[in-house]
Chains A and B, each alone.
Chain A
Amino acid sequence: MSATEAPASPVSPADERTTTGPGRRWGGLSETALRNLALVGVLVVLVIIGAVTRPDLYGDPVRVRDNVFTILEQASVIGVVTVGMTFVIIGGGIDLSVGAIVALAGVWCTTVATQSYGTFGMIFTALTVGLCVGLVNGGLISYGRLVPFIATLAMMVAARGLAASISGKQTQVSENRTINAIASTDVLGIPLLVVILAVVVAAGWVLLNRTTFGRRTVAVGGNREAARLAGINVTRHTMLLYALSGLCCGIAAIMLTSLSTSAQAGAANLYELDAIAAAIIGGTLLSGGRGSIIGSLLGVLVFSTITNLFAINNLATEVQNMVKGGIIVAAVLVQQVRFKSLTTIFART
């Protein structure tokens, strides 16, 4: 059971088979890799259901491609938010304010004044607002010793309030053509929003699995006291995690503004729940110390594929939400079974 994605091991497959640790069962696949494979399996099943219910749509390669891009585009904004959320949860925290930060950053970067600074000014504003709100969250939690749930709950309410006050409760239309074009631009045939998601996910994977920042995140979330006694600056690192989450929200705000060519205080509603749910079904432990960026991405994709499945069949969204709820419960139940089998192995040795 490696806590993160199985690193590219320099050991040959033959060596893999000879090791017998619990993390090396099933022909050398780690626990995380197995879990991710299971999520891929769920995605395949969802696609098959789509193909059966809408054979006309799935019969045409062009429409299939367009539909896949639709799913990915829908996943892109929440996907970026989920990457930040995954770091916060692995680090032992929770961020309930992500939806509000996206809304605030969107509103702030589309005020008439900000828009007058042009594309760069708008992007800079969105990222800075996200980062700063994240730093405030982190400061309250790490230096102010507030419980993450409370601090980010307060921020969730306050940031929406600030967004409403800045926008005067009006929808602010983006007049910036470059920003508005992001959602409709393709790079090498792939929508730019999907490219941004891919870049953020790749950066998140490297950050978690290949950098000292990622190692500190796992250590702080896995055993805060052990991390502290190993000389890791737990307080500072906790703050940086929330700043990272805020920064991801800033990126998401630009994407969302481009998609709707506008911003408003009520945007990105309940994103925090979608992001947490995606991270959880992706195998991130809510108690911290273990998690996977790829798993989170797959979690987001499962949700957006379900949404798409209902949309292409013109089914009511109420049923869709019930199905989503069921999937969250099922995923957590499966994880508990896994965890139990693992603890029995611990107990035996």
Chain B
Amino acid sequence: MSARSARSVPGRGAGGRGAAAVAPATEPVLRLQGVVKTFPGVRALDGVEVEVLPGEVHCLLGQNGAGKSTLIKVLAGVHRPDAGTITWRGAPASFADPQAAMRAGIATIYQELDLVEEMSVAENIFLGHEDRRLGFVRRAQMARRAREILARLGHPEIPPHRPVRLLPAAGKQVVSMGRALSHAARLIIMDEPSAVLAHDEVANLFRIIRELTAQGIAVIYISHRLEEIREIGDRVTVLKDGRTTAANLPARTTPTKDLVSRMTGRTIEYVFPRRTAREPGEELLRVEHLSRPGEFADVSLSVHSGEIVGIAGLVGSGRSELLETIFGARRAAGGTVRVNGRALRPGSVGAAVRAGLGMAPEERKSQALLLGEPIYRNVTLAAFGAYATGGLTNAARERAEAERVAGQLDLRPRDVRRPVGTLSGGNQQKVVVGRWLLGGTRLLLLDEPTRGVDVGARAELYELIRELTAREVGVLLVSSEVPEVLGLADRVLVMREGRVVHEAPADELDEGTVLDLVMAGSLMEEAAV
């Protein structure tokens, strides 16, 4: 059954689109008013208003960092809000922990599904509330109830005894939803459920969502793909910088440009350093037809010395994988990477570093730092061999070089013998970038350089990245924050689903255009209408 044909099926459930598209006819199942959540240095939610009706698909839209994830976690009982009220089924509610939210009837399906791979489908569905008698699990009973639930989800063909690891991604998602149903959930939150699915599986997901809503269950649906929101959504709430900028817009009829304009335009304006007027120098990096199946395909790009090239794209668009492949941390299936005209040995980080490449990876703590080790040893992690004589390290030289870098980066605190784990996120990032200022790094690959970095430190990092270009260093920058790519880069590539879909000088692009390209929107389509 195709999703498109389903659209014409009448009677789409209790709170169906026709009845409740704009004016709420029934009492909302969930209402958030003025919800605030702050973390050290960040005001993640700053007065969020959301209202969800029973049986509707309510879409949350917002850029990275708009507060969607924090909002989900507040609803799922992971975080407790600092201020504001949550009204759940007509009564004020506060969820102390995820179990409490689950018991109240709110189920959350995260992007990375929290299933136990080695356990069976039935065991996963009833995980934590198994059917028991005298301490023994009633397996037959559980299998029967699992079969009922799977049938309700339209997937009676999934065997309850099969280990979850043998199921495809779509099947795992069904099991996750089955768990939600086993808790008699009244609201299911889905965080980018389509990101892990192939195209035809998305149609199936939509069919399940329609069956759920027909039973009066509300769904909060989060996706960056506008076409999906148009197809499955009833109403849309837009978030920006932790605030609701528009609530309860009709999902199908609101023009794309209205949605995009409510997501863009920062209230906090980042200060970007001025672009240098110089012409870029010789070509440092040339990537031709680089491919890795399932990640990205046929990517060609170049970076010149003194130039910042930005890649805009969503998580899952293949941008991080592309960067890691250029750096040799992943082996390319096809295509070439040339540095200063010489082909780089594929799959060898050592060769890339020797050729003058450096990378600040996406996950600072798990991919870049030795948190318990002193700052100076983290700064010299890629260079301590160069300061050693006959295999003996030179601690004094390392500290001196690290102190020099710390001075350049204005690292605070300056004492390079402190464990790097005691630094703030911004200063940790400076250490990672500083690592590549020591040797002969000519080209720096930066993956989400300002993730988890507070506003003040961001400006410093931007300044630092811009300064690098004055030293003839080339920079290839990846970020999910469109304003960051536009503000910092000289030239911008837009990636979507593993392909470069657009390339232009940064000053010829604006946030809305890039966002639309990134989200596979329909600006063209609407222009035609």
- Interface residues of chain A, those whose CB is within 8 Å of chain B, are 1-3, 7, 10, 19, 21-24, 210-215, 218-219, 222-223, 225-233, 289-290, 345-346, 349
CA A291 to CA B366, docked complex, whole Å: 20
CA A346 to CA B425, docked complex, whole Å: 12
For A290, the chain B residues whose CB sits under 8 A away are 372
Contact B350 A231, beta carbon cutoff 8 Å: yes
- A218's contact among B370, B388, B395, B396, by CB below 8 Å, is which? B370
B126 within 8 A of A: no
- Interface residues of chain B, those whose CB is within 8 Å of chain A, are 327, 329, 349-350, 352-354, 359, 361, 366-374, 377, 381-382, 384-385, 388, 391-393, 395-396, 415, 417-419, 421-424, 435
> Smallest Cβ distance from A94 to chain B, in angstroms?
20
For B388, the chain A residues whose CB sits under 8 A away are 211-212
Contact B349 A23, beta carbon cutoff 8 Å: no
- In the complex, what residue of chain B is closest to A222 when comparing beta carbons? B370
- A226's contact among B381, B384, B396, B423, by CB below 8 Å, is which? B381
A-B contact pairs, 29 of them (CB 8 A): A19-B418, A21-B417, A22-B418, A23-B417, A23-B418, A210-B392, A210-B393, A211-B393, A212-B385, A212-B388, A222-B373, A223-B366, A223-B371, A226-B366, A226-B369, A226-B370, A229-B329, A229-B359, A229-B368, A230-B381, A231-B349, A231-B353, A231-B382, A289-B370, A346-B371, A346-B419, A346-B421, A346-B422, A349-B424
- In the complex, what residue of chain B is closest to A343 when comparing beta carbons? B421
CA A141 to CA B367, docked complex, whole Å: 21
For A225, the chain B residues whose CB sits under 8 A away are 361, 366-367
Contact A213 B391, beta carbon cutoff 8 Å: yes
> Smallest Cβ distance from B360 to chain A, in angstroms?
9
> Smallest Cβ distance from A245 to chain B, in angstroms?
19
> Smallest Cβ distance from A188 to chain B, in angstroms?
28
Contact B384 A229, beta carbon cutoff 8 Å: no
* Known contacts A212-B392, A215-B393, then 12 further A-B pairs from the complex at CB < 8 Å, ordered by chain A residue: A2-B417, A24-B417, A211-B393, A212-B384, A212-B385, A226-B369, A229-B359, A231-B353, A232-B350, A289-B373, A346-B371, A349-B424
Contact A233 B417, beta carbon cutoff 8 Å: no
Contact A219 B417, beta carbon cutoff 8 Å: no
CA A3 to CA B382, docked complex, whole Å: 18
For B415, the chain A residues whose CB sits under 8 A away are 19, 21
CA A257 to CA B84, docked complex, whole Å: 75
CA A40 to CA B80, docked complex, whole Å: 47
Contact B391 A212, beta carbon cutoff 8 Å: yes
CA A277 to CA B350, docked complex, whole Å: 36
For B353, the chain A residues whose CB sits under 8 A away are 230-231
Shortest beta-carbon contacts, A-B, top 6: A231-B353, A21-B418, A230-B382, A222-B370, A230-B381, A349-B422
- In the complex, what residue of chain A is closest to B387 when comparing beta carbons? A212
Question: Which residue among A3, A23, A230, A345 has the maximum number of chain B CB atoms within 10 Å of its CB?
Answer: A230
For B384, the chain A residues whose CB sits under 8 A away are 212, 215
For B329, the chain A residues whose CB sits under 8 A away are 228-229
- Number of cross-chain contacts by CB at 8 Å: 102
> Smallest Cβ distance from A242 to chain B, in angstroms?
19
> Smallest Cβ distance from B432 to chain A, in angstroms?
9
Question: Which residue among B359, B381, B382 has the maximum number of chain A CB atoms within 10 Å of its CB?
Answer: B381
For B350, the chain A residues whose CB sits under 8 A away are 231-233
CA A201 to CA B301, docked complex, whole Å: 53
CA A214 to CA B372, docked complex, whole Å: 16
CA A198 to CA B395, docked complex, whole Å: 25
For A23, the chain B residues whose CB sits under 8 A away are 374, 417-419
Known contacts: A215-B384, A229-B327. The answer to whether A223 contacts B369 by CB under 8 A is yes
> Smallest Cβ distance from B344 to chain A, in angstroms?
13
CA A211 to CA B377, docked complex, whole Å: 13
Contact A289 B382, beta carbon cutoff 8 Å: no
CA A223 to CA B372, docked complex, whole Å: 10
Contact B417 A231, beta carbon cutoff 8 Å: no
CA A222 to CA B418, docked complex, whole Å: 16
CA A22 to CA B373, docked complex, whole Å: 12
> Smallest Cβ distance from B204 to chain A, in angstroms?
35
> Smallest Cβ distance from A40 to chain B, in angstroms?
23
> Smallest Cβ distance from B445 to chain A, in angstroms?
10
> Smallest Cβ distance from A70 to chain B, in angstroms?
36
- In the complex, what residue of chain B is closest to A4 when comparing beta carbons? B373
For A227, the chain B residues whose CB sits under 8 A away are 381
Contact B421 A228, beta carbon cutoff 8 Å: no
For B377, the chain A residues whose CB sits under 8 A away are 215
- In the complex, what residue of chain B is closest to A207 when comparing beta carbons? B391
CA A230 to CA B386, docked complex, whole Å: 13
- In the complex, what residue of chain B is closest to A233 when comparing beta carbons? B350
- In the complex, what residue of chain B is closest to A231 when comparing beta carbons? B353
- In the complex, what residue of chain B is closest to A8 when comparing beta carbons? B395
CA A22 to CA B372, docked complex, whole Å: 10
- In the complex, what residue of chain A is closest to B324 when comparing beta carbons? A229
For B368, the chain A residues whose CB sits under 8 A away are 223, 226, 229
- In the complex, what residue of chain A is closest to B423 when comparing beta carbons? A349
Contact B392 A222, beta carbon cutoff 8 Å: no
CA A345 to CA B371, docked complex, whole Å: 13
For B361, the chain A residues whose CB sits under 8 A away are 225, 229
For A219, the chain B residues whose CB sits under 8 A away are 370, 381
CA A56 to CA B205, docked complex, whole Å: 84
- A10's contact among B393, B396, B422, by CB below 8 Å, is which? B396
- In the complex, what residue of chain A is closest to B415 when comparing beta carbons? A19
- B422's contact among A3, A21, A233, by CB below 8 Å, is which? A21
CA A349 to CA B413, docked complex, whole Å: 11
For A228, the chain B residues whose CB sits under 8 A away are 329, 349
For B392, the chain A residues whose CB sits under 8 A away are 210-212
Contact A222 B372, beta carbon cutoff 8 Å: yes
Contact A21 B419, beta carbon cutoff 8 Å: yes
CA A233 to CA B349, docked complex, whole Å: 8
For A231, the chain B residues whose CB sits under 8 A away are 349-350, 352-354, 382
For B421, the chain A residues whose CB sits under 8 A away are 346
- In the complex, what residue of chain A is closest to B380 when comparing beta carbons? A215
Contact A1 B393, beta carbon cutoff 8 Å: no
Contact A22 B419, beta carbon cutoff 8 Å: yes
- In the complex, what residue of chain A is closest to B375 when comparing beta carbons? A21
Question: Which residue among B353, B359, B418, B419 has the maximum number of chain A CB atoms within 10 Å of its CB?
Answer: B419
- A229's contact among B349, B373, B374, B424, by CB below 8 Å, is which? B349
For A1, the chain B residues whose CB sits under 8 A away are 372, 419
- In the complex, what residue of chain A is closest to B360 when comparing beta carbons? A229
For A214, the chain B residues whose CB sits under 8 A away are 393
CA A316 to CA B359, docked complex, whole Å: 60
> Smallest Cβ distance from B410 to chain A, in angstroms?
18
- In the complex, what residue of chain A is closest to B381 when comparing beta carbons? A230
- In the complex, what residue of chain A is closest to B329 when comparing beta carbons? A229
- In the complex, what residue of chain A is closest to B424 when comparing beta carbons? A349
CA A81 to CA B60, docked complex, whole Å: 60
Question: Which residue among A1, A23, A215 has the maximum number of chain B CB atoms within 10 Å of its CB?
Answer: A215
For A22, the chain B residues whose CB sits under 8 A away are 418-419, 422
For B359, the chain A residues whose CB sits under 8 A away are 229
> Smallest Cβ distance from B168 to chain A, in angstroms?
25
Question: Which residue among A1, A212, A290 has the maximum number of chain B CB atoms within 10 Å of its CB?
Answer: A212
CA A229 to CA B325, docked complex, whole Å: 11
- In the complex, what residue of chain A is closest to B374 when comparing beta carbons? A2
CA A222 to CA B381, docked complex, whole Å: 12
For B354, the chain A residues whose CB sits under 8 A away are 231
Contact B372 A289, beta carbon cutoff 8 Å: yes
- In the complex, what residue of chain B is closest to A209 when comparing beta carbons? B393
Contact B373 A218, beta carbon cutoff 8 Å: yes
CA A212 to CA B387, docked complex, whole Å: 10
For B327, the chain A residues whose CB sits under 8 A away are 229
For B349, the chain A residues whose CB sits under 8 A away are 228-231
